[in-house]
Structure 1
């Protein structure tokens, strides 16, 4: 790791492991916010308004957690990287389709995106079990909210 003006409360190996978890979570959350905003702009069809507004809720949650994750990285002496190039090359999120999407196609894509990020978050929760419980706690909060969102999106498929 590069020299940091911020000292870390973690031993170096724990800091490195936690930094990797935080960085990958950061880019996934940035991408999720962009996917949800793209969907928000391009959703059409039945129940447009409710889906359009629910997408804004998802964008707000993802953006808020993005900031929390970046600030946690800084708190342990790691510089977060949320540049577009970094997101493009390292996000684990599925690609969202171009052009207008029906509400049903939008819901399906958002359910898939949320399922993917939740799986990735749960693996990271396990990874931070020994390296940094404070980061693990943050990831648990994020997972809880995104699992709630996932349920609400899935409920529209019934």
Structure 2
């Protein structure tokens, strides 16, 4: 079986791989939670929030692909399987059933804040071992912070 030789030494590969895998889990779960809210949303601000949730889904999906491809580029196998995400996600889950728009806005604001905090930790963890992965994480964090601001402005 062919493997990808890492451009990083073993310690740097491990540090970057851990950061990227954590980011992947956060992004996969964010995409699923935002889509769940999108499907079950109700309320006076339905249309605006409904469409805004799709922006979050698109961001999460694009970013998780970039994170997974970076992991492969450094010789680390990304794991976005459902069981892995379910077992490792630290995000609180949304309630089942219909979700009021104001509760969704508050929940997504909180989810984004939690993810941003972990992304900032990953940025710090990749500073020395892999500035390329760090750069990717910085760019994603900027977009997550933009979405956080936009959701927070609706509260």
Structure 2: state its 5+ residue gaps. none
Q: Give the gaps of 5 or more residues in structure 1.
A: none
Check the 8 A contact 1:4/1:77 in 2, yes or no.
no
**Residue 8 of structure 1: which of 1, 6, 9 is its match?**
6
Post-superposition CA distance 1:12-56 (Å, at most 9, x none):
011011111110110110000000000000110111011000000
Moved over 4 A (4+): none
Q: Do structure 1's residue 20 and structure 2's residue 18 form an aligned pair?
A: yes
Q: Is the CA contact (8 Å cut-off) linking 1:121 and 1:139 kept in structure 2?
A: yes
Partner of 2:31: 33
Q: Secondary structure of the equivalent of 1:131?
A: coil
Q: Do residues 117 (structure 1) and 115 (structure 2) align?
A: yes
* Alignment partners' CA distance in 2, 1:111 and 1:94: 12
Give the distance between the partners of 2:111 and 2:102, measured in 1 at CA. Answer: 14
| CA distance 1:127–1:4, shift in 2 (3 Å) | farther
The match for 1:73 among 32, 50, 71 is 71
Distance 1:36 1:131 in 2: 32
| TM score, norm. by length of structure 1 | 0.96
Deviation larger for 94-103 or 47-56: 94-103
Match of 2:141 in 1: 143
Task: Report the RMSD for the aligned CA atoms in angstroms.
Answer: 1.0
What displacement does 1:4 show? 6.5
Match for residue 82 of structure 2 among 81, 84, 98: 84
Q: 1:15, 1:76 within 8 Å by CA — same for their partners in 2?
A: yes
Task: Give the superposition deviation at 1:98.
Answer: 1.1
Could you tell me how far apart the structure 2 residues matched to 1:49 and 1:42 are? 12
How many pairs align? 155
User: TM-score w.r.t. structure 2 length?
Assistant: 0.98
Query: Could you say what secondary structure the match of 2:128 adopts?
Result: helix
1:44 equivalenced with 2:15 (yes/no): no
